[in-house]
A = this chain, B = another copy of it.
Amino acid sequence: MAKELQKWVVMVTAQTPTNIAVIKYWGKRDETLILPINDSISVTLDPDHLCTTTTVSVSPSFEQDRMWLNGKEISLLGGRFQSCLREIRSRACDLEDEKKGIKIKKMDWEKLRLHIASYNNFPTAAGLASSAAGLACFVFALAKLMNLNEDNGQLSAIARRGSGSACRSLYGGFVKWIMGKEENGSDSIAFQLADEKHWDDLVIVIAVVSARQKETSSTTGMQDSCKTSMLIQHRAKEVVPKRIIQMEDAIEKRDFPSFARLACADSNQFHAVCLDTSPPIFYMNDTSHKIISCVEKWNRSVGTPQVAYTFDAGPNAVLIARDRKIAALLLRRLLFHFPPTFQHCLNSYVIGDKSILQDVGVQDMKDIESLPPPPEIKDNIPAQKSNGDVSYFICTRPGRGPVLLPDSGALLNPETGLPK
């Protein structure tokens, strides 16, 4: 090929959602292959509010693999990116773009370098499963670029090598990650239990809680739990398998009370195992506890669960309301207990699907101040208000799986292959 012909850049842009586990993944039986000690089930969150967008590009003019995350160049040399890259390159197929006159042979992919740009539409540091969405998007976009024949289930096994929970972000709706039995991990894949339309009443409110202490990474945390917790094996072998069956059933039947009871119990048990670790791991803090107490009190006062809560490896609460009406009542309670500080404006304190704020009947900060205490709070207990404990709320819902975006949405310049 003449040098001027080599100036082409081929790119693919994809968008991939985050997911929140309702039956938790905690503990690996194989650290390298990232094989879990139990199945897990997650809800995919609407990418309109929480997603990663990734553009992957290839060009004969690229001299090395490079990656940018949120505009900042980062190293691609990490074992997790490399594992995924290796798996994808080994499955790459011929690519032909007749219009542009580009032809990449299967074997060429090993030599061609990549430029990758990734962007999260939410704060990476907020502890909102950015690595799950990020790795899933990385794998999905590269698989499309390199013309892989693999379906999303097979891609999920590749994403798993990057970040365990990433495999669940290959699908929308309700997703199960089967732990698998094979030593090589080939059967440890995700599949869709039901799509996002199956149960579209659900509304999700995420309370992003200000963390005061640096947290144990989930990788280190689950290693420590596997080594030291006397309860984790009992959980993985005796408790989770039953819950998985019950949760699948609850999702299939849209049985919210069962769904909520299982999700709350499993979140609490995951954190119990963290506490049973040496040294103990505390992901939830006093604010997380307050949110749980608020939901538990309300659920009990009604007699049947209205809202489920679940917490990942951090203090943020993911609250799942049975429908939009309940979500408005939930947000009312949350805004009552955790009003914004004077530095906030309401517009930045409740983000995502703001339309729920209208149902709450709250338009400005004054409306929040005059919110009455929820009826389940007894008169004799002074209602505690905790300004500043919550950074902001995100209103969202179950959402779709990965999609390809048109080139207009690309994060890389189609001429240079550098970030726009």
Chain B nearest Cβ from A279, distance in angstroms = 4
Q: In the complex where A265-B278, A282-B289, A300-B279 touch, is A272 in contact with B231 (Cβ < 8 A)?
A: yes
Decide if A269 is an interface residue (CB 8 Å cutoff). yes
Q: What is the 8 Å Cβ interface bit string for chain A, positions 361-402, against chain B (1 contact, 0 not)?
A: 000000000000000000001001000000000000000000
Pick the contact of A269: B212, B230, B269, B282 (CB < 8 A): B230
Q: Chain B residues with Cβ under 8 A from A286's Cβ?
A: 212, 285-286
Decide if A223 is an interface residue (CB 8 Å cutoff). no
The 3 closest A-B pairs by CB, nearest first: A272-B272, A272-B276, A279-B296
Decide if A64 is an interface residue (CB 8 Å cutoff). no
Residues of A277-308 contacting chain B, CB below 8 A: 277-280, 282, 285-286, 289-290, 292-293, 296, 300
Bound form: Cα–Cα A269–B229 in Å: 9
Can you list 21 pairs linking A and B with CB atoms under 8 Å apart? A212-B286, A212-B384, A230-B235, A230-B238, A230-B265, A230-B269, A231-B239, A231-B269, A234-B234, A264-B278, A265-B278, A268-B278, A269-B275, A269-B276, A272-B273, A272-B275, A272-B276, A279-B293, A280-B296, A285-B289, A286-B286
Task: Give the residue among A264, A265, A268, A277 with the most B Cβ atoms within 10 A.
Answer: A268
Chain B nearest Cβ from A295, distance in angstroms = 9
Residues of A185-220 contacting chain B, CB below 8 A: 212-214
Q: In the complex where A234-B234, A239-B230, A289-B285 touch, is A275 in contact with B275 (Cβ < 8 A)?
A: yes
Decide if A271 is an interface residue (CB 8 Å cutoff). yes
Using A214-B381, A231-B269, A269-B276 as known contacts, list a sample of 12 further A-B pairs with CB atoms less than 8 Å apart, ordered by residue number in A. A212-B286, A212-B384, A230-B239, A231-B239, A234-B238, A261-B278, A268-B276, A268-B277, A269-B275, A272-B272, A279-B292, A279-B293
Residues of A248-278 contacting chain B, CB below 8 A: 261, 264-265, 268-269, 271-273, 275-278
